[in-house]
Amino acid sequence: GSACTLVCMVTSAAIGGTLQYGYNLSIMNAPTTFIQNFVNETFQERWGKQLGVYEVTLIWTFIVSIFSLGGLTGALLAGPLSVRFG
């Protein structure tokens, strides 16, 4: 009874969480080349030199990392903000 319910609940939470996270990462990776070109063009317009492949990739990894940190921050703040502001 309750053991089966617990196993089903844990399994659905584990699959649901990883599926959602993987989907969000794949959404971030779809426009990779467009965003990297935008970063390179913007840097070239502002500073007059073009970035190398390594530098553009490094900036892109920071963008993707900030996406995950923003999700963590939002998850931690959602509860207290909804209690305070309704």
Q: Are 56 and 40 in contact (CB under 8 A)?
A: yes
- The whole model's pTM is what? 0.58
The total number of structural domains in the chain stands at: 1
Q: Per-residue pLDDT tens for 41-85? A: 999 999 999 999 999 999 998 988 887 788 889 889 999 999 999
pLDDT of residue 78: 92
Neighbouring residues of 59: CB distance < 8 A, sequence distance ≥ 6: 36, 39, 51
Domain that holds residue 21: 1-85
pLDDT of residue 51: 93
* Helix (H) / strand (E) containing 51: none
